[in-house]
Chain A
Amino acid sequence: MNAATGETVSVLALLAVLAWAVIRPRGWPEAVAAGPAAVILIAAGAIRVGDAGAEARRLGPVIGFLIAILVLAHLCDDDGLFRACGAWMARSAGGRPRRLLVLVFVAAAVTTAVLSLDTTVVLLTPVVFATAARLDVRPRPYVYACTHLANSASLLLPVSNLTNLLAFTASGLGFGRFAALMALPWLAVIGVEYAVFGRFFGSDLGPRRQARSQAGARAGAGDGGLPVFTVTVLVLTLAGFVVTSAAGLSPAWAALAGAAVLAGRALARKRTTPQSLLRAADLPFGVFVLGLGIVVAAVVQNGLGTALRPLLPAGTSLPALLAIAALAAALANVCNNLPAVLVLLPLAAASGAGAVLAVLLGVNIGPNLTYTGSLATLLWRRTLRSHGEAPNLGEFTRLGLLTVPAGLVLAVLALWAGLRVMGG
């Protein structure tokens, strides 16, 4: 198969995989399309078996790492970590909506950084909503904060986002160094988000003096003590990431160990079942990422890589980093951040760790621009929702326009400064 035909077939396969993810026929998982699409491309010769194998060997450990984190987060939820977090927020916030916003920012930023954005979206957001409802304050600013920070606060650690895990291996950085370089951008973006949210939702955040809020806060004080054992395991796991990485091992082993300890304890106490753990591991998602990775590799090898290379500036000067981050953000909004990072990583890796981290700033912060960062989601929003007009789409986009460009520029500046001080 020549390159032009290969590229056409590969792009069609990618579009089919993404379209399936948007439409989700009969609610079947995305893996149902991505797996066969990869197999077809290999069979048709659009990607060589050796190249597909190399891609699978690269992605396998990353997917294993992610699965360990997902299971770890699920077990933390079982042990009441997020309930305890909700009770803590209710207690400390009392009837003060603005203080609750600060607490939600802290909870969402830390949860995203340590247990990945999936955990914030799936496990923390409902707790935050319930906390706001219990305190009798409007839940919208807090839920929006969770959805925004799930993306923008996922910069700090390799485990915070699947995009980071993919980039982590490509960057050649150690766990500690990755975190050190990303700490300043992470704080800068959270600062921008907080400043914008405080103004944007000003009228929802005025202090109130209602009896119900106080009662809600008191009611919150009763349930959900902090699960000390679980938190200890989490802290040790975090330390394990740094230690294993410094010792030249994959930090995935630390995640696996942490998940194994919590799973063993939960199984021994009959508080979970193997089936429940298997569900939390979300194996179809692993198949989806593997399939998508092979499809994207075919698209890149058959021509997209050559086409994009001139667009991606070389080096890690400030203008270069800004351009890389902007391109990554744009691509993440056109398709989704997962395909975007798969496409850009091989190109950016040639320019070194700084360029790889700039790609991450783009694909992680960028998605807040268009609702949840993909044309796919926009399409879904338009076609499936029966509410007719959707005022909150406009609101969400305004919020994105206020936070994303400012956050992106400040984060790139912070990264650039960090690279100057610490060296790339």
Chain B
Amino acid sequence: MDAALSLAPAEARFTLLHVTSPAAADAAHGAYRGLLGRGGPDPGDQLERLAQASAADLMEAAARRLGRPSDRLEIDDYAERAVVAASAGADLLIVARDGDRSRLGPKSLGKTTRFVVDHAACPVLLVWPEAPPDVGTIPPPPHHPHHGGR
């Protein structure tokens, strides 16, 4: 959010994108159905409601932090393709890095972000979700420099 504010021109239009992956709720639905014959509420439904509430909270917090007019786009789908589809027509896609955030170093791209970077239909900006750690946290050089570490 801070990166967006510091880099974007004054007249830029922002779209806040949140993708709720159905993976977790699906797993709960499936586990419940696996309990052949049990009655009672399906925990997957509860997860879907919780996910919606959590997404709304997150959107609200992001919009407050941005403090400028913005569009909101909330998608319920697997994140990879949903984000790529949303990137069409954008001038810049800002994504946060993944992985260990206590030090500089890999892996900055998880599986999902990797897919988005590989397929995005616009330039992508990878940012630290908070202030980056000190440069001294970079891991020591690997033993086999030709292989470039892990």
- On A, residues with C-beta under 8 Å from B are 21, 29-31, 34, 117-118, 121-123, 125-126, 129-130, 133, 136, 139-140, 143-144, 146-147, 150-151, 202-204, 206-212, 279-280, 282, 284-285, 288-289, 292, 336, 338, 367, 371-374, 376-377, 380-381, 385, 387, 390-392, 395-396
Contacts of B21 on A, CB cut-off 8 Å?
Answer: 140, 392
Tell me the bound Cα distance from A381 to B22 in angstroms.
Answer: 13
By a CB distance below 8 angstroms, the chain B residues around A144 are 24, 27
Pick the 4 closest A-B CB pairs, nearest first. A372-B34, A203-B110, A206-B100, A288-B37
Extra inter-chain contacts (17) besides given A122-B35, A203-B98, A392-B27, CB under 8 Å: A29-B39, A118-B35, A121-B34, A121-B35, A125-B31, A126-B28, A133-B50, A136-B58, A139-B51, A143-B47, A202-B107, A203-B99, A206-B102, A209-B101, A212-B61, A288-B36, A380-B33
Are B100's CB and A207's CB within 8 A? yes
Most chain B CB inside 10 Å of its own CB: which residue of A126, A130, A144, A284: A126
User: Which of B40, B77, B110 gathers most chain A CB within 10 Å?
Assistant: B40
**Known: A30-B36, A377-B34. Contact between A129 and B24, CB under 8 A?**
yes
11 CB-based A-B contacts, threshold 8 Å:
A126-B50, A139-B24, A140-B24, A147-B30, A206-B99, A206-B101, A208-B129, A209-B133, A211-B130, A373-B34, A392-B22
B37 touches A29 (CB 8 A): yes
- By a CB distance below 8 angstroms, the chain A residues around B37 are 21, 29-31, 34, 284-285, 288-289, 292, 338
Count residues on chain B whose CB falls below 8 Å from chain A CBs: 42
When distances are taken between beta carbons in the complex, the residues of chain B under 8 Å from A284 are 37, 39
Closest-CB distance, B63 to chain A (whole angstroms)? 15
Q: Are B26 and A208 in contact (CB under 8 A)?
A: no
Say yes or no: B47 contacts A147, CB within 8 Å: no
Q: Give CA–CA (A380, B31) in the complex, Å.
A: 12
- Taking CB atoms and an 8 Å cut-off, the chain B residues in 1-58 that contact chain A are 21-24, 26-28, 30-41, 43, 46-47, 50-51, 54, 58
| Contact A143 B102, beta carbon cutoff 8 Å | no
- Does residue B111 face the partner (Cβ distance < 8 Å to A)? yes
Contact of B40 among A146, A211, A282 (CB under 8 A): A282
Report Cα–Cα, A31/B39, bound state, in Å: 10
Chain B positions within 8 Å of A136 at CB level: 58
Closest to B101 in A: A208
- In angstroms, Cα B51 to Cα A172, docked, is 46
CA distance A204 to B101 in the complex (A): 11
Q: Are B51 and A285 in contact (CB under 8 A)?
A: no
Q: Which residues of A contact B26 (CB under 8 A)?
A: 381, 385, 390, 392
Chain B residues within 8 Å of A204, by CB: 98, 110
Residues of B within 8 A of A121 (CB): 28, 31-32, 34-35, 43
Report yes or no: A133 in contact with B54, Cβ–Cβ below 8 A.
yes
Given A126-B46, A203-B110, A390-B26: A374 in contact with B34 (beta carbons within 8 A): yes
Q: Give Cα A385 to B54, complex, Å.
A: 23
The answer to whether residues A143 and B27 also contact, given A21-B37, A29-B37, A121-B43 and a CB cut-off of 8 A, is yes
Which B residues fall within an 8 A CB radius of A?
21-24, 26-28, 30-41, 43, 46-47, 50-51, 54, 58, 61, 77-78, 80, 98-102, 107, 109-111, 129-130, 133
Least CB distance, B75 to chain A, in whole angstroms: 12
Using CB atoms, name the residue of chain B closest to A121: B31
Closest to A396 in B: B27
Chain A residues in 8 Å Cβ range of B38: 118, 122, 282, 285
Q: Once the chains bind, are A207 and B24 in contact (CB under 8 Å)?
A: no
Chain B hits for A34, CB < 8 A: 37
A330 to chain B, nearest CB (A): 16
Docked pose: A34 CA to B37 CA in angstroms: 10
Q: Say whether, besides A133-B54, A385-B26, A387-B77, A336 and B34 are in contact (CB < 8 Å).
A: yes
Q: Are B31 and A387 in contact (CB under 8 A)?
A: no
Q: Which residues of A contact B109 (CB under 8 A)?
A: 203
In the bound complex, how far is the Cα of B24 from the Cα of A139, in angstroms?
7
Residues of chain B lying within 8 A (CB to CB) of residue A117: 35
Residue among B26, B28, B30, B100 having the largest count of chain A Cβ atoms under 10 Å: B30
Contacts of A30 in B (CB 8 A): 36-37
Task: Give the residue among B31, B38, B40, B80 with the most A Cβ atoms within 10 A.
Answer: B31
Nearest-Cβ distance from residue A294 to partner chain B, whole angstroms: 14
Q: Is the CB of B47 within 8 A of A126?
A: yes
* CA–CA, A144 and B24, complex, Å: 7
Q: How far is the CA of A151 from the CA of B30 in the complex (A)?
A: 12
Q: Which residue of A lies closest to B55 (CB)?
A: A133
Interface hub of B35, B98, B109 (most chain A Cβ within 10 A): B35
Q: Decide if B28 touches A147 in the complex (CB within 8 Å).
A: yes
- For A210, give its contact among B28, B46, B47, B130 (CB under 8 Å): B130
- B27, B51, B129: most-surrounded residue (chain A CB, <10 A): B27
B125 CB to closest chain A CB, in angstroms?
19
A377–B41 CA distance with the chains assembled, in angstroms: 17
Given A292-B37, A395-B23, residue A203 in contact with residue B50 (CB < 8 A): no
A266 and B70 CA atoms in complex are apart in Å by 49
Q: Which one, A207, A211, A372, contacts B33 given CB within 8 A?
A: A372
B36 & A336 in contact (Cβ 8 Å cutoff): yes
